Amino acid sequence: MPEPENTHRHFILHKPFGYLSQFIGNPKNKKLLGDLYDFPAGTMAIGRLDQDSEGLLLLTTNGKMSEYVRGRKVEKEYYAQVDGIITPEAIVQLQKGGIEISHEKQPYFTLPCVATRLDPAPDSPERSRRVRDDRHGPTSWISITLTEGKNRQVRKMTAAVGFPTLRLIRVRIGSIILGNLAPGQVQEVEEFAL
């Protein structure tokens, strides 16, 4: 692990729905991470969550730390609310891997992962925009744990097995958990204990 440097700072953030995982390059006046907190200059997100995704995001001013975390096969756990009641067969497909998804316009086959149905549904904070109402049909929740991280991978995986993702929340990176951190809340930490 890189030697900690006293000059660097590290943060844990609960990224809310509707924010981009970036600080600059504001297309069409989208909400950026800097709108949530006065981060020091040079702060960068380690990995990303797309605008429609929520949950745990790690930030640092140490580029070496960012490369270290992204370069390791660190587990990332997501809770996904999917359209319909997911079947045991779909869960097995997710677990086995080999699901073809597109990545950078090339076919990519996913690695095996941990996938389970969450019943009861997780107690997640209300989102700023409702997913949909019950009259549009049932939904269910699953947990997916990956060690890879392709663009919009969880969404592509659940759609490929017939259950598109309606809401996606990252709840864990390595041993760091989202816990009770509220949407938009930031916690500064001495280091990342992954």
Same domain assignment for residues 87 and 103: yes
Query: Does one domain contain both 105 and 131?
Result: yes
4 within a domain of the structure (yes/no): no
User: Which of 186, 144, 139, 147 is closest to 164 using CA atoms?
Assistant: 139
Residues 56, 144 within the same domain: no
18 inside domain = yes
Domain total of the chain: 2
What domain range includes position 91? 76-173
Residues 60 and 88 in one domain: no
Q: Establish if 3 belongs to a structural domain.
A: no
Instruction: Measure the CA angle with vertex 46, ends 80 and 17; round to 5°.
Output: 40
Write out the H or E segment, with its range, that includes residue 59.
strand 54-60
- Per the domain annotation, does 183 fall within a domain? yes
Measured CA to CA, the distance from residue 166 to residue 83 in angstroms comes to: 6
What are the tens digits of pLDDT across the range 116-143?
Answer: 999 999 999 888 777 776 678 899 999 9
Q: Are residues 52 and 140 in the same domain?
A: no
Residue 1 lies in a domain: no
Q: Is residue 44 part of a domain?
A: yes
Q: Are residues 83 and 160 in the same domain?
A: yes
pLDDT tens for the chain, 194 residues long, are 554 556 899 999 999 999 999 888 767 778 999 999 999 999 999 988 999 999 999 999 998 887 777 767 789 999 999 999 999 999 999 999 999 998 788 889 999 999 999 999 999 988 877 777 667 889 999 999 999 888 899 999 999 999 999 999 999 999 999 999 999 999 999 988 77
Annotate 81-148 with DSSP letters as a single string.
EEES---HHHHHHHHH---EEEETTEEEEPPP-EEEEESSPP-PPPPSS----GGG--EEEEEEEES-
Residues 106 and 126 in one domain: yes
Find the helix or strand (DSSP H, E) in which 150 lies: none
Q: 111 and 83, same structural domain? A: yes
pLDDT at site 24: 81
For 6, phi then psi, to 5°, come to: -60, -20
Q: Identify the active-site residue in 50, 119, 123, 134.
A: 50
CATH of the domain at 95: 3.30.70.1560
Q: Is 52 a catalytic residue?
A: no
